[in-house]
Amino acid sequence: MEVADLKILFFDVGGILLSNGWGHEAREEAAKRFNLDYEEVNALHNFIFNVYEIGSITLDEYLDTVIFNHPRDFVREDFKDFIYSTSVELPMLQFLKDWKKDCGFRIISVNNEGKELNDYRVRKFKLHECFDAFVSSCEVKMRKPDPGIWQLAMGIAQVSPQQCVYFDDRKMFVDTAQKLGIRSFQHTSLENTKKILETLKKENLKTT
Please tell me the predicted confidence (pLDDT) of residue 11. Answer: 98
Domains of the chain: 6-17+87-205 (3.40.50.1000), 22-84 (1.10.150.240)
What confidence tier does 145 reach under pLDDT thresholds 50, 70, 90? very high
User: Hey, which residues does 107 pair with through a beta bridge?
Assistant: 9
Looking only at the bridges linking them, the beta strands covering 164-168 and 133-136 are unpaired
Please tell me the predicted confidence (pLDDT) of residue 208. Answer: 57
Residue 201's CB is within 10 A of a number of other CB atoms, namely 15
> Strand (E) positions, the chain?
8-11, 106-111, 133-136, 164-168, 183-186
What confidence tier does 4 reach under pLDDT thresholds 50, 70, 90? very low
> Virtual CA dihedral for 202, 16, 137, 70, nearest 10 degrees?
-170
User: Hey, which residues does 111 pair with through a beta bridge?
Assistant: 136
What confidence tier does 204 reach under pLDDT thresholds 50, 70, 90? confident
Instruction: Give the helix/strand (H/E) hosting 96.
Output: helix 91-100
**Amino acid identity at 81:** D
**pLDDT tens string 76-94:** 999 999 999 999 999 999 9
> Strand (E) positions, 82-161?
106-111, 133-136
Please tell me the predicted confidence (pLDDT) of residue 2. Answer: 46
CB 109 within 8 A of CB 21: no
**pLDDT tens string 171-196:** 999 999 999 999 999 999 999 999 99
Please tell me the predicted confidence (pLDDT) of residue 5. Answer: 78
What is the rounded CA–CA span in Å between residue 2 and residue 30? 48
Sign of the dihedral defined by the CA atoms of residues 152, 158, 164, 168, in that order: negative
Residue 146's CB is within 10 A of a number of other CB atoms, namely 16
- ω into 161 cis (within 30 of 0): no
What confidence tier does 207 reach under pLDDT thresholds 50, 70, 90? low
What is the rounded CA–CA span in Å between residue 76 and residue 70? 12
> Virtual CA dihedral for 86, 88, 167, 108, nearest 10 degrees?
100
Please tell me the predicted confidence (pLDDT) of residue 1. Answer: 42
Please tell me the predicted confidence (pLDDT) of residue 113. Answer: 97
* pTM, rounded to two decimals: 0.93
Mean pLDDT of 115-143: 98
Please tell me the predicted confidence (pLDDT) of residue 6. Answer: 80
Looking only at the bridges linking them, the beta strands covering 183-186 and 164-168 are parallel
Mean pLDDT taken over the chain:
95
CB 121 within 8 A of CB 113: yes
